[in-house]
Amino acid sequence: MQANQEKNDQSAHDYTALLNALVNASLKIQPLMLEAISKFDFNRLQKETPIQFHSMRDAYEDYIRTFTDNPQKFAEMHMDFTRKWMELWQKSVTEFVSGTHERAKDATQQSGIPHRKDRRFSSELWEKSAFFSFIKQYYLMTADIFEEAINDAEHIDEDTKKRVSFYLKQYIDAMAPTNFLFTNPDVIQETIDSKGENLVRGFENLINDMERGQGLLKISTTDYKAFEIGKNIARTKGKVVFRNHLMELIQYEATTEKVHKKPVFISPPWINKYYILDLQEKNSFVKWLTDKGHTVFIISWVNPGKEHAACNFATYVHDGVLKALDVVQDITKEKSCNAIGYCVGGTALTMALSYLHTKGQEDRIASATFFTTLVDFSHAGDLKLFMDETHLDIIDSEMEIKGYLPAEIFRNTFSMLRANDMIWSFVVNNYLMGQTPFPFDILFWNDDTTNMPAALHHSYLKDLYLQNKLAIPNGFEIDDVPINVTKIKTPTYCLATIDDHIVPWISAYKTTQLFSGPIEFTLSASGHVAGVINHPDKNKYCYWKNKKSETTAEKWYDGAKMHKGSWWPDFEKWLVKFSDGEQVPARKCGNTTYKPLDDAPGRYVSMKAPE
């Protein structure tokens, strides 16, 4: 009894301390708020959504119709929810009144209430209090019930189910109790401990992010002052040896006395900047390759403006990939090179390979490597759910005025695909806890976004995502030259990542069934970026290999063997096979025809997206 009284006294003391902290924070925030209101044009907050939600209404109506057609199913779902709610309520009230609180895991084993690992609820404060444990369990239980209701819905197609599930998940993630001051025990405790200073700092962070977005909320995900392009990021030594309206070609300085005969050419994605492959020395793929004795060239794509509106895949293939091959061949005096394509840069490389085959020039590329690249877009992940003709019309109308799709739309769209990690975790950290994001080079790169030319993006959505023309023999054309990827016989190394939410690995595996040449498929742990940028020195993650080619990704995985550590050494061992064996004296950057223009990382990498 005395223990319960002490507990109640402590609770009263905490509520008083919380009230005092909130009053203190409010007094300090008021002048900051007045300053912010006078500074910003809040009408700019009415900006286009990152993913157009025009299809949400139709998908929701189809979903609701399944219950109007089957009222018994709706009644059963409602009764199940009521039963679970009563079990949770009874357990929580008993624990709260008695002053005893079982750990949630033990309780759920008795009642069937959901309990799963969720990083949002990792703090022990969620388990110490019956009140907060109730909030957590009620939230997780409701989320699970909604998910089950969608999965069990009858008479609607899988795409509609996925659309409804995605929209619902956005709402459920946004309404998580971790995102609000009075339902997050960590925030409450920090508010009490700091006497409200966390909320003051959080509001200052909010203002700074509004300033950074020029009136729009642009959530900080890292410490941007910690990195400077060319200083401590994208700093591998090299020269820009060619520049045109679309790209700069960088040749990196050799770090060994002799180098492999065949050079390496890289076509990176033009969504974000090329230096994802050259972050810091400790995780630079480019630096690692040069240290292994390879002559490395990489494209740095321009950040397009209105003048690039008409640029399409043919432009990127001719003025990008193929022109880069010309320069590499002239500088190294080699008739072929080993080519690497990353994501959409790999898609362009695929088009170039087929184009060269049709022209009888396929021997210009000795081997091709693809990092997380889609060729068959039939199952292209969550992004494909929102690619329909109506969406394309909306995007086209937005691009018609500017001549490009603004970079910010890409950034927000990809963030929404992983809202808890890329949005809400930073809302809690930055604005509720009042903390500064940790310096993280990958997130610095992730925020360094680029535009997409109107013609290119239209083709990307319509020809590839909607109509999947690249996977259809002669279904796609580059300057009236039919593209048939089934004719590609170039030895190929395909890398996919198991947790990729942009290029699902099962879809990436389809490339092995399209190309006609020998293909080695590797599956890495982690996601679209972290699974690729994995220096061997970190001894992190793992990868899977199966030397036997299978007709489906599932069969391939069943027979695959897991290997510890990075896949980089496995790839480099494969790459050397196509480097002609002998080594030659280290090459200098450029030649008399292609004289060095600037030091790496060049000019285009610093181009910001037009406001």
Phi, psi of 213, deg, nearest 5: -95, 10
Q: Are strands 598-599 and 238-243 parallel, antiparallel or unpaired?
A: antiparallel
In contact, 230 and 601? CB cutoff 8 Å: yes
Q: Which one is catalytic: 311, 337, 343, 589?
A: 343
Instruction: Please tell me the CATH superfamily of domain 238-378+467-606, with its number.
Output: Alpha/Beta hydrolase fold, catalytic domain (3.40.50.1820)
pLDDT of residue 11: 45
What residue has token string 């999947």? 468
pLDDT of residue 115: 52
Other residues' Cβ atoms within 10 Å of the Cβ of residue 300: 26
Q: Which two tokens stand for residue 311?
A: 């640029």
Q: Is 494 annotated in the active site? A: no
pLDDT of residue 111: 43
pLDDT of residue 18: 84
The Cα diameter of the chain in Å comes to: 90
CA distances from 609 to 209, 388, 410, 522, 605 (A): 17, 27, 12, 35, 11
Instruction: Give CATH 3.40.50.1820 domain extents, the chain.
Output: 238-378+467-606
Residues facing residue 122 across a β-bridge:
none
Residue among 452, 470, 473, 450 nearest 462 (CA): 470
Residue among 98, 128, 131, 102 nearest 1 (CA): 98
In contact, 574 and 590? CB cutoff 8 Å: no
pLDDT tens by residue, 180-195: 999 999 999 999 999 9
Q: Which two tokens stand for residue 106?
A: 């033990």
Q: Which two tokens stand for residue 64?
A: 């609701």
CA dihedral (63, 68, 70, 72) positive or negative: positive
Distance of CA 169 to the CA centre of its chain: 17
CA distance from start to end of the chain:
64
Angstrom distance (rounded) from CA 537 to CA 445? 21
Secondary-structure breakdown of the chain: helix, strand, coil percentages, each rounded to the nearest 5: 55, 10, 35
Q: Are strands 452-453 and 583-585 parallel, antiparallel or unpaired?
A: unpaired
Containing 456, the helix (H) or strand (E) segment is: helix 454-459
Q: What is the CA radius of gyration of the chain?
A: 27
Q: Are strands 365-371 and 238-243 parallel, antiparallel or unpaired?
A: unpaired
Total-model pTM: 0.89
Angstrom distance (rounded) from CA 385 to CA 368? 30
CA distances from 477 to 204, 313, 342, 453 (A): 52, 9, 21, 18
In contact, 571 and 493? CB cutoff 8 Å: yes
- The backbone region for 68, taken as left when phi is positive above 0, alpha when psi lies in -120 to 50, beta otherwise, is alpha
In contact, 240 and 589? CB cutoff 8 Å: no
Residues facing residue 537 across a β-bridge:
none
Residue 323 exposed, middle or buried by CB count within 10 Å (0-12, 13-18, 19+): middle
**Which residues of the chain fall below pLDDT 70?**
1-13, 39-60, 62, 67, 98-116, 386, 609-611
pLDDT tens by residue, 90-102: 887 777 776 655 5
